[in-house]
Amino acid sequence: MTPGPEHSEDCVSWERGWEVISRLDGDGARRVTQALEDVAPGLSHLMVAYGFGASYSRPQLAPRDRQLVTLGILAALGADRQIPLHVSAALRAGLTREEIVEALTHSAVYCGFPRAINAVLAARDALADGSAHPSPPGTPGGQ
């Protein structure tokens, strides 16, 4: 979903967000936005325009640092369904598998062991089944 021409500033945020999310999440971005289009197209638009276009693209943190923060927050929220997508994005942003697991392990102290364990297991599954990979689809190393 793209914004209408009557919202030009919003359109710029959406386009910038789509560029960022596509670079980080590849096909995952397309799958998530398509899944939301059927039930909540407005949420899909907000996620791209504001989550990635207005927030994620800010220059104060490097993408790898943003992914560390994101993984910790997802673990704290118990948002295990989001972990695989962000593990893939973290790899593409330059984090290693070991750094990802360490960040999730570290979260146990702050968000509790059950949530950290669930996040680590979600990351393990994504890393093991190949759904998380460092290279965009269609490139060497990608799916």
- What are the φ/ψ torsions at residue 2 (nearest 5 degrees)? -115, 150
Q: Which residues of 65-93 are buried (b: 16+ CB within 10 A; e: fewer)?
A: ebbbebbbebbeeebbebbbbbbbbbbbb
Contact yes or no for 67/58 (Cβ under 8 A): no
For residue range 85-101, list pLDDT tens digits in order: 899 999 999 999 999 99
Q: Which residues of the chain have pLDDT under 50?
A: 1-6, 136-143
Superfamily of domain 61-143: AhpD-like (1.20.1290.10)
Domain positions in the chain: 1-60, 61-143
